[in-house]
Structure 1
Amino acid sequence: MHWLKLKITQFPTHQNKMESRVTRCVTLLSGGLDSMLAIRIMQDQGIEVEALNFKTMFTCCQDLSAQAATRLGVRLTVVSQEDDYLELIKKPRFGYGKGANPCVDCRIYMFERAHKFMEQIGADFIVSGEVVGQRPMSQKRRDLDVISHQSGLEDLLLRPLSAKLLLPTLPERNGLVDRDRLYAFQGRSRKGLIRLAKAYGLDEVPTPSTGCALTESLFGRKVHDLI
Structure 2
Amino acid sequence: MTKALAMVSGGLDSILAAKLIKEQGIEVIGICFRSYFFSEESAKKMTKQIDIPLVVVDFSNEHLDMVKNPKHGRGKNMNPCIDCHAMMMNYAGKLLEEYNADFIITGEVLNQRPMSQNRQALNIVKKESGFANKILRPLCAKNLDPTEMELNGLVDREKLLDISGRSRKAQMELAEKWGITEYPSPAGGCRLTEPNYALRLKDLLDYKDEVEEDELSLLRYGRHFRTKDNNKIIVARTKDEGDMIKNHIDGSYYSFHTSDFSGALVLLESEGTEEDRKLAARISGRYSKGKDEKIVKVKFGKYGNKFSSEIEVEPISDDELQEYIVSVK
Q: What TM-score do the two structures reach when normalised by structure 1? A: 0.86
1:171 and 1:187, CA in 2 relative to 1: closer, same or farther beyond 3 A? Answer: same
Query: How does 1:1-227 map onto structure 2 within 5 Å?
Result: 22-60=1-39, 62-227=40-205
* Cα distance in 2 between the residues matched to 1:123 and 1:80: 20
Q: 1:206 to 1:218 in 2, by over 3 A?
A: closer
Work out which structure has the larger RCO, using CA pairs closer than 8 Å and 6 or more positions apart in sequence: 1
Q: CA separation in 1, counterparts of 2:38 and 2:65?
A: 17
Q: Deviations over 1:62-93 (max 9, x none)?
A: 22111111111111000001533222111100
SS for the counterpart of 1:77 is strand
TM-score, normalised via structure 2 length: 0.60
For structure 2, which runs of at least 5 residues remain unmatched after alignment?
206-329
* Structure 1 residue runs without a partner (length 5+): 1-21
User: May I ask how many residue pairs the two structures share in their alignment?
Assistant: 205
1:116, 1:181 → 2: CA distance?
27
Q: Percent identity?
A: 42
Contact preservation (8 Å) 1:94, 1:105: yes
Please tell me the residue identity of whatever aligns with 1:23.
T
CA contact (8 A) 1:56 1:81 kept: yes
Q: Distance in 1 between matches of 2:124 and 2:8?
A: 21
When residues 176 and 85 of structure 1 are mapped into structure 2, their CA distance, relative to the original with a 3 A threshold, is: same
Cα distance in structure 2, aligned partners of 1:198 and 1:70: 16
8 Å Cα contact 1:99-1:218 kept in structure 2: no
Is the radius of gyration larger for structure 1 or structure 2?
2
Q: Distance in 2 between matches of 1:190 and 1:47?
A: 26
List structure 1 segments (4+ residues) > 4 angstroms apart after TM superposition: none
